[in-house]
Amino acid sequence: MICHPKVFCLFALVVHYNAPAKDALLQCKTMVMVVIMDNFLSESCGRQCMTLDKDIKDMVKAAIENDLAAPKVPKKRVPKLKCVWKCEHAYDFLYGHRVGYYKGLAEGLVLERYRRQLTEHEDNEVFEITESHARGLRKYFAYYKVRRRTR
């Protein structure tokens, strides 16, 4: 018979029990250190109160600013991009790709640091950071728009 792990305190040791055969007492088999942050936060103040760390915000902002300062990919690559990714408008695709990259960057840092996904509030913070740079990003990717020739 195997019992479920027991939680003894906020930052708990989870003890896995394994009962040997024939009326023997439960004995401790293994101990694993687990941080039960999500359970605590969901009971005390909800997941909404978590905010992104300042260094994560700074990394996302730095990535955006570095992208805006980087040289553009030559326009001659756009037809291949459209063919490979099956998109009609390369500039929209590239804009969406980069915004997704910024969210993935923040998500990866939180996953590595806290072993969890972004909360809704943190996700909104990443959106606000990218939204504050939206004008510059749109201008940067407008370079890839196909200009109609006028006579």
Nearest to 59 by CA among 95, 94, 110, 93: 110
pLDDT at 15 exceeding the cut of 80? no
Taking only the tens place, the pLDDT of each residue in 52-81 is 999 999 999 999 999 999 998 888 999 999
Residue 119's CB is within 10 A of a number of other CB atoms, namely 19
Highest mean pLDDT among 34-48, 53-67, 78-92, 135-149: 53-67
Q: Which of 121, 130, 128 is nearest to 52 (CA)?
A: 121
- State yes or no: pLDDT of 19 exceeds 70: no
pLDDT at 114: 94
User: Max alpha carbon distance in the chain (Å)?
Assistant: 94
Q: What is the pTM of this model?
A: 0.64
Q: Examine the pLDDT at 22 and tell me if it is beyond 60.
A: no
**Residue appearing with tokens 């978590």:** 50
